[in-house]
Structure 1
Amino acid sequence: MKIIFVLLLAGVGSVGVASRAQAAQTILVCYPGGPVDAAEAGNALSSMLRVVERVGQWKSGTFESAFTSRADECRKLLAERKPAFAITSLGLYLELAARHHLVPVVQPRIKGQTAERYRIMVKKGAFADLAALQGKTLGGSVLEETEYLRRIVFAGRIDPSRHFSLKPSRQALRSLRALAKGELDAVLVNQQQYDALGGLPFAKDLEAAFTSEAIPLMGLVADEKATSAGERERLTRALQGMCQDSEGKKLCELFGVESFEPVKPGTFDTARTLWEAGSK
């Protein structure tokens, strides 16, 4: 479900850019480790952008999207295209904020929360904590950004690339099934993946051996030097109105997004502190 939210947010985020030029404006969407390929993502983004153009009263074709599920390609596209607005993971934002003058603009609210927790799921009674999992296999679809995991999710306590034998997958469900079959020792899941566990027949056999602190959900970021305060404010208003529009509301409900909210001062301070501490 996270990828669906990312695609939705990319579409509505385009509204703030349209006045900058008549040519189609590119919105960069980075989703490291995501299960959706570029063609599939492009089709979904195109459909959503058309809705946004109608809601924002922009000419059809005003916006275009660029999507990647690879962190290295996201870094390259940010450097080459220098987009005014982008969707990135929290890890990429923290890594690239200074280099590309990135500032958070809005966050999604999902199930009443603007933050999430990561959990390591294991079979009940198998492993009590992180120490017990040293050297064990860890699967999941959120393993690509190991530096983010080290600095933010595990808050510097362990280096996952050394502590575990990592077995990344494009699909969390595949990893969870492997865990249930005994083919993996543990699986790392984000909040949305954890919330979906209840629908699995083997969920009752699993428990969390680790739960992270609350981590703010990443939304839309802006290049502070390439955008004005007015543009960022206009974008924020557009996003806030998206889920109240008759058609936009249906999209928001379908994708589990209750609302889009301006980023409050201090929201990412703890994450920045952890990130900087991890570089020492």
Structure 2
Amino acid sequence: MSVPNYVIENSRIAAKWTRHGLFFFNRNDLFIGRSLDLYGEWCESEIQLLGQVLRPGDVALDIGANIGTHALSFAEIVGPGGRVYALEPQHHVFQLLCANAAVNLSDNLHCLNKAAGSEAGRIRLAVGRPDQAFNFGAARQGPEGEDVEVITVDGLDLPACRLIKVDVEGMEPAVLAGAARTIARHRPFVFVECNDSSDSRGIIGAMTSQDYDLWWHIAGYYSPANFLGNAVDIFGSYQPEANLFCAPRELGLRIGGLEACTGLDDNWRLALERLNKKKAE
């Protein structure tokens, strides 16, 4: 398995050219950093899907932006007349997000070292040590850890909003509750992680109550067509990434290639079973 040289490296931070620019990442990160290191991309199928709904001049939100793999792509698409807000609560991850925004000249990307929730306040976030191996995209709320400010999407009082992406490790229903007025007013597309069946009902209920149609986007972390042409799949033993792509019902969209959500009791595993059954027919 060949890995290209780093542009910059030290005891834990490296930078290399990727599909969407020069990215700094933590070499101890077992998922996003590892994927950028080996493949030069992260969840590229998500970026390709969401890139189809964004236009120059749009406003987008990336809630749980991590080091900016999606946010920087959004910023490039919406251009200088648009704006992207990227929220990342982990302090050391936020530093890399800002570095990536700066080095790629993403002046329209506004980075906020905050979490989002149903109401303003503070939470504790159990984060990993940056000098030790950890999945830094999996930090969750807990009794101990970093003290983090929480804001609501509604509190941003955005003049427009085309897309809200949410990936916050179990806090997705709370984020949607705190974005209810923004969703009702601006009718953005919403892309929300839903890979825990225990959270599915709350997420599906929040979006259907706002008159949205929902589809499942289910994809593995590895792509054979990855930027670095690496043929070794190190993520093959992990469950796929599962998200709900949500569109305002008044648009009347028909989306090929994605499995429609069937209701409150649906989840990604049931959706995957339906997809596999259709492929076998």
Same fold (TM over 0.5): no
TM-score by length of 2: 0.32
TM-score by length of 1: 0.32
Q: Which has the higher contact order (CA 8 A, sep 6+)?
A: 1
Compare the two structures and name the one with the higher helix fraction: 1
Compare the two structures and name the one with the higher strand fraction: 2
